[in-house]
Protein backbone atom coordinates (compact mmCIF):
# COMPACT_ATOMS: atom_id res chain seq x y z
CA UNK A 1 0.00 0.00 0.00
CA UNK A 2 2.88 2.32 0.92
CA UNK A 3 4.55 1.46 -2.39
CA UNK A 4 1.40 2.41 -4.36
CA UNK A 5 1.11 5.64 -2.37
CA UNK A 6 4.79 6.43 -3.10
CA UNK A 7 4.37 5.77 -6.84
CA UNK A 8 1.22 7.88 -6.95
CA UNK A 9 2.97 10.73 -5.13
CA UNK A 10 6.01 10.64 -7.42
CA UNK A 11 3.84 10.48 -10.58
CA UNK A 12 1.75 13.41 -9.37
CA UNK A 13 4.90 15.37 -8.51
CA UNK A 14 6.46 14.75 -11.92
CA UNK A 15 3.21 15.74 -13.63
CA UNK A 16 3.10 19.00 -11.66
CA UNK A 17 6.75 19.77 -12.54
CA UNK A 18 6.12 18.92 -16.21
CA UNK A 19 3.12 21.21 -16.52
CA UNK A 20 4.86 23.99 -14.58
CA UNK A 21 7.83 23.85 -16.96
CA UNK A 22 5.55 23.60 -19.96
CA UNK A 23 3.67 26.68 -18.80
CA UNK A 24 6.95 28.54 -18.22
CA UNK A 25 8.05 27.59 -21.75
CA UNK A 26 4.71 28.71 -23.18
CA UNK A 27 4.96 32.04 -21.36
CA UNK A 28 8.52 32.46 -22.63
CA UNK A 29 7.34 31.71 -26.15
CA UNK A 30 4.51 34.24 -25.87
CA UNK A 31 6.97 36.85 -24.63
CA UNK A 32 9.68 36.21 -27.16
CA UNK A 33 8.15 35.12 -30.45
CA UNK A 34 7.21 38.68 -31.37
CA UNK A 35 10.51 40.18 -30.25
CA UNK A 36 12.69 37.35 -31.58
CA UNK A 37 10.86 36.61 -34.82
CA UNK A 38 8.06 38.97 -35.92
CA UNK A 39 9.72 42.33 -35.16
CA UNK A 40 13.12 41.48 -36.70
CA UNK A 41 11.38 39.96 -39.73
CA UNK A 42 9.46 43.20 -40.29
CA UNK A 43 12.62 45.30 -39.82
CA UNK A 44 14.45 43.20 -42.42
CA UNK A 45 11.60 42.87 -44.93
CA UNK A 46 10.38 46.47 -44.66
CA UNK A 47 13.93 47.54 -45.55
CA UNK A 48 14.67 45.22 -48.47
CA UNK A 49 11.11 45.54 -49.83
CA UNK A 50 11.95 49.10 -50.91
CA UNK A 51 13.62 47.54 -53.96
CA UNK A 52 10.12 47.84 -55.51
CA UNK A 53 10.32 51.64 -55.19
CA UNK A 54 12.54 51.64 -58.28
CA UNK A 55 9.85 53.16 -60.50
CA UNK A 56 9.71 56.22 -58.19
CA UNK A 57 13.23 57.34 -59.09
CA UNK A 58 14.28 55.40 -62.21
CA UNK A 59 13.51 58.30 -64.57
CA UNK A 60 15.41 60.73 -62.32
CA UNK A 61 18.45 58.44 -62.36
CA UNK A 62 18.30 58.14 -66.15
CA UNK A 63 18.07 61.92 -66.59
CA UNK A 64 20.83 62.65 -64.07
CA UNK A 65 23.44 60.31 -65.57
CA UNK A 66 22.44 60.91 -69.19
CA UNK A 67 21.10 57.48 -70.20
CA UNK A 68 17.71 56.26 -71.38
CA UNK A 69 15.21 54.91 -68.87
CA UNK A 70 15.36 51.57 -70.69
CA UNK A 71 19.09 51.32 -70.04
CA UNK A 72 18.75 52.00 -66.32
CA UNK A 73 15.75 49.61 -65.97
CA UNK A 74 18.15 46.66 -66.12
CA UNK A 75 19.40 47.59 -62.64
CA UNK A 76 16.03 46.56 -61.18
CA UNK A 77 15.92 43.36 -63.26
CA UNK A 78 19.42 42.45 -62.05
CA UNK A 79 18.40 43.15 -58.43
CA UNK A 80 15.51 40.67 -58.64
CA UNK A 81 17.67 38.15 -60.51
CA UNK A 82 20.43 38.23 -57.89
CA UNK A 83 17.82 38.18 -55.11
CA UNK A 84 16.71 34.78 -56.34
CA UNK A 85 20.18 33.47 -57.20
CA UNK A 86 21.79 34.59 -53.92
CA UNK A 87 18.91 32.94 -52.04
CA UNK A 88 19.53 29.75 -54.04
CA UNK A 89 23.30 29.68 -53.45
CA UNK A 90 23.37 31.06 -49.90
CA UNK A 91 20.40 29.09 -48.59
CA UNK A 92 22.77 26.72 -46.75
CA UNK A 93 24.42 29.68 -45.00
CA UNK A 94 20.99 30.80 -43.79
CA UNK A 95 20.24 27.22 -42.70
CA UNK A 96 23.40 27.02 -40.60
CA UNK A 97 23.59 30.52 -39.10
CA UNK A 98 20.80 33.10 -39.34
CA UNK A 99 22.95 35.66 -37.52
CA UNK A 100 25.66 35.48 -40.14
CA UNK A 101 23.14 35.60 -42.99
CA UNK A 102 21.16 38.52 -41.52
CA UNK A 103 24.41 40.46 -41.00
CA UNK A 104 25.44 39.76 -44.61
CA UNK A 105 22.00 41.06 -45.65
CA UNK A 106 22.35 44.30 -43.68
CA UNK A 107 25.87 45.03 -44.93
CA UNK A 108 25.22 44.15 -48.59
CA UNK A 109 21.90 45.98 -48.83
CA UNK A 110 23.26 49.18 -47.25
CA UNK A 111 26.51 48.97 -49.23
CA UNK A 112 24.55 48.45 -52.45
CA UNK A 113 22.39 51.51 -51.78
CA UNK A 114 25.41 53.65 -50.87
CA UNK A 115 27.27 52.43 -53.97
CA UNK A 116 24.26 53.23 -56.16
CA UNK A 117 24.28 56.76 -54.74
CA UNK A 118 28.00 57.11 -55.45
CA UNK A 119 27.71 56.04 -59.07
CA UNK A 120 24.69 58.31 -59.61
CA UNK A 121 26.84 61.18 -58.27
CA UNK A 122 29.70 60.07 -60.53
CA UNK A 123 27.33 59.88 -63.51
CA UNK A 124 26.19 63.43 -62.81
CA UNK A 125 29.81 64.59 -62.90
CA UNK A 126 30.60 62.53 -66.02
CA UNK A 127 27.38 62.43 -68.09
CA UNK A 128 26.93 59.41 -70.40
CA UNK A 129 29.73 57.55 -68.60
CA UNK A 130 29.44 53.75 -69.09
CA UNK A 131 31.27 53.34 -65.78
CA UNK A 132 28.40 55.06 -63.95
CA UNK A 133 25.80 52.79 -65.55
CA UNK A 134 27.82 49.63 -64.90
CA UNK A 135 28.46 50.78 -61.32
CA UNK A 136 24.70 51.16 -60.77
CA UNK A 137 24.15 47.66 -62.22
CA UNK A 138 26.76 46.20 -59.84
CA UNK A 139 25.64 48.18 -56.77
CA UNK A 140 21.84 48.07 -57.12
CA UNK A 141 21.74 44.79 -59.02
CA UNK A 142 24.49 42.51 -57.69
CA UNK A 143 25.56 43.78 -54.23
CA UNK A 144 22.10 44.87 -53.14
CA UNK A 145 20.70 41.70 -54.72
CA UNK A 146 22.78 39.57 -52.34
CA UNK A 147 21.39 41.58 -49.43
CA UNK A 148 17.88 41.05 -50.78
CA UNK A 149 18.21 37.27 -51.08
CA UNK A 150 19.81 36.64 -47.69
CA UNK A 151 17.59 39.22 -45.99
CA UNK A 152 14.46 37.68 -47.48
CA UNK A 153 15.37 34.16 -46.34
CA UNK A 154 16.88 34.83 -42.90
CA UNK A 155 13.70 35.36 -40.82
CA UNK A 156 11.38 32.94 -42.65
CA UNK A 157 12.33 29.64 -41.01
CA UNK A 158 12.64 31.36 -37.63
CA UNK A 159 9.07 32.62 -37.94
CA UNK A 160 7.82 29.16 -38.89
CA UNK A 161 9.51 27.67 -35.81
CA UNK A 162 8.14 30.25 -33.37
CA UNK A 163 4.64 30.20 -34.89
CA UNK A 164 4.44 26.45 -35.49
CA UNK A 165 0.63 26.35 -35.33
CA UNK A 166 0.14 29.37 -37.66
CA UNK A 167 3.09 29.15 -40.04
CA UNK A 168 1.25 30.79 -42.90
CA UNK A 169 0.21 33.77 -40.79
CA UNK A 170 3.79 34.21 -39.57
CA UNK A 171 5.44 34.11 -42.99
CA UNK A 172 2.61 36.23 -44.38
CA UNK A 173 3.29 38.88 -41.75
CA UNK A 174 6.95 39.21 -42.76
CA UNK A 175 6.37 39.03 -46.49
CA UNK A 176 3.53 41.55 -46.13
CA UNK A 177 6.20 43.87 -44.76
CA UNK A 178 8.14 43.31 -47.96
CA UNK A 179 5.07 44.18 -50.02
CA UNK A 180 4.02 47.13 -47.85
CA UNK A 181 7.50 48.66 -47.96
CA UNK A 182 6.74 50.32 -51.28
CA UNK A 183 3.56 51.95 -49.99
CA UNK A 184 5.37 53.18 -46.85
CA UNK A 185 8.61 54.35 -48.48
CA UNK A 186 7.33 55.78 -51.78
CA UNK A 187 5.92 59.06 -50.37
CA UNK A 188 9.01 59.47 -48.18
CA UNK A 189 11.32 59.01 -51.17
CA UNK A 190 9.26 61.38 -53.28
CA UNK A 191 9.41 64.01 -50.54
CA UNK A 192 13.19 63.60 -50.31
CA UNK A 193 13.57 64.01 -54.06
CA UNK A 194 11.45 67.17 -53.93
CA UNK A 195 13.26 68.75 -50.98
CA UNK A 196 16.93 67.73 -51.15
CA UNK A 197 17.65 70.15 -53.99
CA UNK A 198 20.38 69.65 -56.61
CA UNK A 199 21.70 66.10 -56.49
CA UNK A 200 18.78 64.98 -54.34
CA UNK A 201 18.71 61.62 -56.12
CA UNK A 202 22.15 60.49 -54.90
CA UNK A 203 21.77 62.17 -51.49
CA UNK A 204 18.57 60.17 -51.00
CA UNK A 205 20.42 56.89 -51.55
CA UNK A 206 23.12 57.81 -49.03
CA UNK A 207 20.59 58.80 -46.37
CA UNK A 208 18.50 55.67 -46.91
CA UNK A 209 21.60 53.46 -46.85
CA UNK A 210 22.26 54.64 -43.28
CA UNK A 211 18.62 54.35 -42.19
CA UNK A 212 18.13 50.86 -43.59
CA UNK A 213 21.44 49.62 -42.21
CA UNK A 214 20.36 50.62 -38.71
CA UNK A 215 16.94 48.97 -39.16
CA UNK A 216 18.41 45.75 -40.54
CA UNK A 217 21.22 45.63 -37.97
CA UNK A 218 18.67 45.90 -35.13
CA UNK A 219 16.70 43.11 -36.81
CA UNK A 220 19.91 41.07 -37.04
CA UNK A 221 20.55 41.52 -33.29
CA UNK A 222 17.00 40.56 -32.31
CA UNK A 223 16.54 37.55 -34.62
CA UNK A 224 16.79 34.23 -32.77
CA UNK A 225 15.49 30.69 -33.18
CA UNK A 226 13.56 29.05 -30.32
CA UNK A 227 15.66 27.26 -27.71
CA UNK A 228 16.10 23.56 -28.38
CA UNK A 229 15.50 23.58 -32.12
CA UNK A 230 19.06 22.35 -32.79
CA UNK A 231 18.12 18.87 -31.53
CA UNK A 232 15.50 17.97 -34.21
CA UNK A 233 17.58 19.80 -36.81
CA UNK A 234 20.46 17.36 -36.34
CA UNK A 235 18.29 14.44 -37.34
CA UNK A 236 18.03 15.70 -40.91
CA UNK A 237 21.45 17.36 -41.05
CA UNK A 238 23.72 16.34 -43.91
CA UNK A 239 20.89 15.53 -46.25
CA UNK A 240 21.46 17.27 -49.57
CA UNK A 241 18.78 19.38 -51.22
CA UNK A 242 18.42 16.91 -54.11
CA UNK A 243 17.95 14.08 -51.61
CA UNK A 244 15.25 16.07 -49.83
CA UNK A 245 13.48 16.80 -53.12
CA UNK A 246 13.62 13.11 -54.08
CA UNK A 247 11.67 12.12 -50.95
CA UNK A 248 8.62 12.89 -53.09
CA UNK A 249 8.08 12.45 -56.85
CA UNK A 250 10.35 14.90 -58.69
CA UNK A 251 7.34 16.19 -60.67
CA UNK A 252 5.95 17.48 -57.37
CA UNK A 253 8.83 19.91 -56.85
CA UNK A 254 8.93 20.88 -60.53
CA UNK A 255 5.24 21.76 -60.29
CA UNK A 256 5.82 23.97 -57.23
CA UNK A 257 8.79 25.73 -58.87
CA UNK A 258 7.03 26.35 -62.20
CA UNK A 259 3.75 27.58 -60.74
CA UNK A 260 5.69 29.93 -58.43
CA UNK A 261 7.64 31.19 -61.47
CA UNK A 262 4.46 31.69 -63.52
CA UNK A 263 2.66 33.56 -60.74
CA UNK A 264 5.57 36.02 -60.44
CA UNK A 265 6.05 36.36 -64.21
CA UNK A 266 2.37 37.15 -64.81
CA UNK A 267 2.26 39.48 -61.83
CA UNK A 268 5.30 41.44 -62.98
CA UNK A 269 4.02 41.53 -66.57
CA UNK A 270 0.81 43.30 -65.54
CA UNK A 271 2.24 45.34 -62.66
CA UNK A 272 5.01 46.72 -64.89
CA UNK A 273 2.31 48.19 -67.17
CA UNK A 274 -0.04 49.14 -64.35
CA UNK A 275 0.51 52.91 -64.40
CA UNK A 276 0.08 53.13 -68.17
CA UNK A 277 -3.04 50.93 -68.08
CA UNK A 278 -4.56 53.25 -65.47
CA UNK A 279 -3.80 56.23 -67.71
CA UNK A 280 -5.14 54.38 -70.75
CA UNK A 281 -8.60 53.89 -69.21
CA UNK A 282 -8.85 57.59 -68.34
CA UNK A 283 -7.78 57.59 -64.69
CA UNK A 284 -4.50 59.48 -65.12
CA UNK A 285 -5.32 61.91 -62.31
CA UNK A 286 -5.76 59.00 -59.88
CA UNK A 287 -2.53 57.13 -60.69
CA UNK A 288 -0.91 57.86 -57.32
CA UNK A 289 -3.96 56.85 -55.28
CA UNK A 290 -4.61 53.69 -57.31
CA UNK A 291 -0.93 52.73 -57.12
CA UNK A 292 -1.13 52.91 -53.32
CA UNK A 293 -4.36 50.87 -53.31
CA UNK A 294 -2.77 48.18 -55.49
CA UNK A 295 0.23 48.08 -53.12
CA UNK A 296 -2.21 47.54 -50.24
CA UNK A 297 -3.81 44.64 -52.15
CA UNK A 298 -0.31 43.26 -52.76
CA UNK A 299 0.52 43.36 -49.04
CA UNK A 300 -2.99 42.21 -48.08
CA UNK A 301 -2.70 39.21 -50.40
CA UNK A 302 0.55 38.21 -48.72
CA UNK A 303 -1.02 38.24 -45.27
CA UNK A 304 -4.59 37.21 -46.14
CA UNK A 305 -3.91 34.27 -48.48
CA UNK A 306 -1.22 32.84 -46.18
CA UNK A 307 -3.39 33.11 -43.05
CA UNK A 308 -6.29 31.55 -44.97
CA UNK A 309 -4.05 28.68 -46.06
CA UNK A 310 -3.46 27.76 -42.38
CA UNK A 311 -7.11 26.72 -42.18
CA UNK A 312 -6.89 24.39 -45.20
CA UNK A 313 -6.04 20.72 -45.24
CA UNK A 314 -4.02 21.15 -48.45
CA UNK A 315 -2.12 24.46 -48.63
CA UNK A 316 -1.85 24.11 -52.40
CA UNK A 317 -5.57 24.99 -52.57
CA UNK A 318 -4.56 28.64 -52.13
CA UNK A 319 -2.60 28.55 -55.39
CA UNK A 320 -5.58 27.03 -57.19
CA UNK A 321 -7.76 29.87 -55.92
CA UNK A 322 -5.19 32.50 -56.96
CA UNK A 323 -4.94 31.06 -60.48
CA UNK A 324 -8.72 30.66 -60.88
CA UNK A 325 -9.40 34.26 -59.79
CA UNK A 326 -6.65 35.55 -62.08
CA UNK A 327 -8.00 33.55 -65.05
CA UNK A 328 -11.58 34.73 -64.47
CA UNK A 329 -10.76 38.44 -64.25
CA UNK A 330 -8.21 38.29 -67.07
CA UNK A 331 -10.77 36.53 -69.24
CA UNK A 332 -13.47 39.09 -68.47
CA UNK A 333 -11.19 42.00 -69.41
CA UNK A 334 -10.15 40.17 -72.60
CA UNK A 335 -13.76 39.45 -73.65
CA UNK A 336 -14.93 43.00 -72.98
CA UNK A 337 -11.78 44.63 -74.35
CA UNK A 338 -11.70 46.49 -71.05
CA UNK A 339 -8.34 48.18 -71.52
CA UNK A 340 -9.00 49.25 -75.12
CA UNK A 341 -12.58 50.38 -74.44
CA UNK A 342 -12.34 51.43 -70.80
CA UNK A 343 -11.92 55.19 -71.24
CA UNK A 344 -15.27 56.81 -70.49
CA UNK A 345 -16.94 53.50 -69.52
CA UNK A 346 -17.33 53.27 -65.75
CA UNK A 347 -18.15 49.53 -65.70
CA UNK A 348 -15.08 48.64 -67.75
CA UNK A 349 -12.90 50.94 -65.65
CA UNK A 350 -14.01 49.11 -62.52
CA UNK A 351 -13.47 45.73 -64.19
CA UNK A 352 -9.92 46.62 -65.25
CA UNK A 353 -9.06 47.92 -61.78
CA UNK A 354 -10.50 44.73 -60.24
CA UNK A 355 -8.13 42.77 -62.48
CA UNK A 356 -5.19 44.92 -61.34
CA UNK A 357 -6.11 44.46 -57.67
CA UNK A 358 -6.72 40.69 -58.00
CA UNK A 359 -3.40 40.14 -59.79
CA UNK A 360 -1.58 42.23 -57.16
CA UNK A 361 -3.19 40.23 -54.34
CA UNK A 362 -2.43 36.90 -56.04
CA UNK A 363 1.11 37.96 -56.90
CA UNK A 364 1.74 38.89 -53.26
CA UNK A 365 -0.08 35.85 -51.90
CA UNK A 366 2.16 33.45 -53.80
CA UNK A 367 5.30 34.41 -51.85
CA UNK A 368 4.53 33.51 -48.21
CA UNK A 369 2.84 30.25 -49.16
CA UNK A 370 5.94 28.83 -50.85
CA UNK A 371 8.00 28.08 -47.69
CA UNK A 372 4.96 26.71 -45.84
CA UNK A 373 3.94 24.56 -48.81
CA UNK A 374 7.51 23.25 -49.06
CA UNK A 375 7.57 22.48 -45.32
CA UNK A 376 4.32 20.51 -45.66
CA UNK A 377 5.85 18.42 -48.44
CA UNK A 378 9.51 18.12 -47.39
CA UNK A 379 9.69 18.89 -43.66
CA UNK A 380 11.46 21.67 -41.75
CA UNK A 381 15.00 20.25 -41.61
CA UNK A 382 16.36 21.94 -44.75
CA UNK A 383 13.60 24.44 -45.42
CA UNK A 384 15.85 27.54 -45.69
CA UNK A 385 18.08 25.91 -48.29
CA UNK A 386 15.12 24.42 -50.18
CA UNK A 387 13.24 27.72 -50.07
CA UNK A 388 16.38 29.45 -51.35
CA UNK A 389 16.64 27.12 -54.34
CA UNK A 390 12.95 27.67 -55.09
CA UNK A 391 13.46 31.44 -55.06
CA UNK A 392 15.56 30.99 -58.21
CA UNK A 393 12.14 31.03 -59.89
CA UNK A 394 11.84 34.65 -58.75
CA UNK A 395 15.24 35.36 -60.29
CA UNK A 396 14.23 34.17 -63.75
CA UNK A 397 10.78 35.74 -63.49
CA UNK A 398 12.48 39.05 -62.74
CA UNK A 399 14.26 38.82 -66.09
CA UNK A 400 11.24 37.68 -68.10
CA UNK A 401 8.04 39.22 -66.68
CA UNK A 402 8.80 42.90 -67.27
CA UNK A 403 10.81 42.35 -70.43
CA UNK A 404 8.22 40.18 -72.22
CA UNK A 405 5.43 42.63 -71.34
CA UNK A 406 7.52 45.54 -72.66
CA UNK A 407 8.25 43.57 -75.84
CA UNK A 408 4.53 42.87 -76.44
CA UNK A 409 3.58 46.51 -75.83
CA UNK A 410 6.33 47.84 -78.10
CA UNK A 411 5.73 45.27 -80.86
CA UNK A 412 1.94 45.24 -81.13
CA UNK A 413 -0.69 47.93 -81.50
CA UNK A 414 0.35 51.57 -81.73
CA UNK A 415 0.97 54.42 -79.33
CA UNK A 416 -1.57 57.22 -79.34
CA UNK A 417 -1.96 60.43 -77.36
CA UNK A 418 -4.82 60.36 -74.85
CA UNK A 419 -6.92 63.29 -73.62
CA UNK A 420 -4.28 64.12 -70.97
CA UNK A 421 -1.36 64.12 -73.43
CA UNK A 422 -0.02 60.70 -72.37
CA UNK A 423 1.42 58.30 -74.93
CA UNK A 424 -0.49 55.02 -74.46
CA UNK A 425 -0.89 51.77 -76.40
CA UNK A 426 -4.34 50.31 -75.55
CA UNK A 427 -3.98 47.35 -77.93
CA UNK A 428 -0.50 46.53 -76.64
CA UNK A 429 -1.61 46.48 -73.01
CA UNK A 430 -4.63 44.37 -73.95
CA UNK A 431 -2.36 41.88 -75.75
CA UNK A 432 -0.30 41.33 -72.60
CA UNK A 433 -3.38 39.57 -71.20
CA UNK A 434 -3.21 36.85 -73.89
CA UNK A 435 0.27 36.03 -72.64
CA UNK A 436 -0.67 35.99 -68.95
CA UNK A 437 -3.90 33.98 -69.26
CA UNK A 438 -2.12 31.13 -71.08
CA UNK A 439 0.48 30.96 -68.31
CA UNK A 440 -2.16 31.12 -65.58
CA UNK A 441 -4.00 28.16 -67.17
CA UNK A 442 -0.73 26.16 -67.31
CA UNK A 443 -0.05 26.98 -63.64
CA UNK A 444 -3.57 25.89 -62.63
CA UNK A 445 -3.18 22.57 -64.41
CA UNK A 446 0.17 22.01 -62.68
CA UNK A 447 -1.29 22.81 -59.27
CA UNK A 448 -4.05 20.25 -59.90
CA UNK A 449 -2.15 17.39 -61.54
CA UNK A 450 1.52 17.71 -60.50
CA UNK A 451 1.49 19.08 -56.93
CA UNK A 452 -0.26 16.32 -55.05
CA UNK A 453 -1.55 16.80 -51.46
CA UNK A 454 1.20 16.45 -48.84
CA UNK A 455 1.06 13.56 -46.38
CA UNK A 456 1.62 15.69 -43.30
CA UNK A 457 1.50 12.71 -40.97
CA UNK A 458 4.83 11.54 -42.32
CA UNK A 459 6.52 14.89 -41.78
From residue 332, how far is each of 282, 348, 355, 429 by CA, in Å? 19, 10, 9, 15
- C-beta neighbour count of 219 within 10 angstroms: 24
Angle subtended at Cα 389 by Cα 445 and Cα 244, rounded to the nearest 5 degrees: 85
What per-residue confidence (pLDDT) applies to 230? 54
pLDDT digit string (tens) for the chain, length 459 residues: 554 554 555 555 544 454 444 444 444 445 588 888 889 999 999 999 999 888 788 889 999 999 998 899 899 989 999 999 999 888 888 888 888 999 999 999 999 999 999 999 999 999 999 999 999 999 999 999 999 999 999 998 888 888 888 888 888 887 888 878 887 888 899 899 989 988 899 999 999 999 999 999 999 999 988 876 654 444 444 457 888 888 889 999 999 999 999 999 999 999 888 988 998 998 888 887 888 888 889 888 998 999 999 899 899 999 999 999 999 999 999 999 999 988 888 999 999 999 999 999 999 999 999 999 999 999 887 888 899 999 999 999 988 988 899 899 989 988 888 777 778 899 999 999 999 999 999 999 999 999 988 765 444
What per-residue confidence (pLDDT) applies to 389? 93
What per-residue confidence (pLDDT) applies to 457? 41
- How many Cα atoms are found within 13 Å in the side-chain-facing hemisphere of 294? 27
From residue 10, how far is each of 17, 20, 254, 380 by CA, in Å? 10, 15, 54, 36
Domain locations in the chain? 38-222, 241-459
Phi (first) and psi of residue 423, to 5 degrees? -85, 115
What per-residue confidence (pLDDT) applies to 269? 93
Domains 38-222 and 241-459 share a fold: yes
Q: Note whether 336 and 351 are within 8 A (CB).
A: yes
Task: Return all residues near 25 (Cβ < 8 A) that are at least 6 apart.
Answer: none
Could you tell me which CATH class the domain 38-222 is placed in? mainly alpha
Task: Return all residues near 167 (Cβ < 8 A) that are at least 6 apart.
Answer: 159, 160, 310, 372, 375
CA trace torsion 121, 127, 128, 131 (10° rounding): -40
DSSP letter (8 states) at residue 283:
-
Q: SS3 for 400-450, per residue?
A: HHHHHHHHHHHHCCCCEECCCCCEECHHHHHHHHHHHHHHHHHHHHHHHHC
Query: Quick check: helix, strand or coil at residue 249?
Result: coil
Contacts of 97-101 with C-beta under 8 Å, sequence gap 24+, read 98/154, 98/155, 98/157, 98/158, 98/223, 98/224, 98/225, 99/220, 99/223, 101/150, 101/153, 101/154
Which of the following CATH numbers is that of domain 241-459: 3.40.50.300, 1.20.1250.20, 3.40.50.920, 1.20.1630.10?
1.20.1250.20
Phi (first) and psi of residue 55, to 5 degrees? -65, -20
Q: Which of 276, 38, 75, 81 is nearest to 176 (CA)?
A: 38
Q: Look at the pTM and tell me if it is higher than 0.95.
A: no
What per-residue confidence (pLDDT) applies to 10? 54
Q: Would you say the C-alpha torsion 152, 155, 161, 163 has a positive or negative sign? A: negative
Phi (first) and psi of residue 416, to 5 degrees? -130, 165
Q: Note whether 245 and 128 are within 8 A (CB).
A: no
- C-beta neighbour count of 24 within 10 angstroms: 10
- How far is the C-alpha of 44 from the C-alpha of 23, rounded, in Å? 31
Amino acid sequence: MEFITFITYRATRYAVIYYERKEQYNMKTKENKWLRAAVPALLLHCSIGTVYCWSIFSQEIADYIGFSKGATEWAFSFAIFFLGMSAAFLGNVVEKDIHKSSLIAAVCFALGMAGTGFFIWYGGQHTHSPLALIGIYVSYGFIMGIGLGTGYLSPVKTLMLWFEDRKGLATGLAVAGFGAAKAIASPIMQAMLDNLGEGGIYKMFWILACVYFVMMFVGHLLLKKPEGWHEPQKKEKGQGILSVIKTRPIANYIGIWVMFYINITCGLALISQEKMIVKCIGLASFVGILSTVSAIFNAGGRLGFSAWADTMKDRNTIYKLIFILSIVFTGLVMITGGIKNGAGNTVLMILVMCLVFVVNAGYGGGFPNVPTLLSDHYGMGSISALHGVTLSAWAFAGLTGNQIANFIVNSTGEFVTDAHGNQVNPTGYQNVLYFTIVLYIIALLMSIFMVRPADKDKK
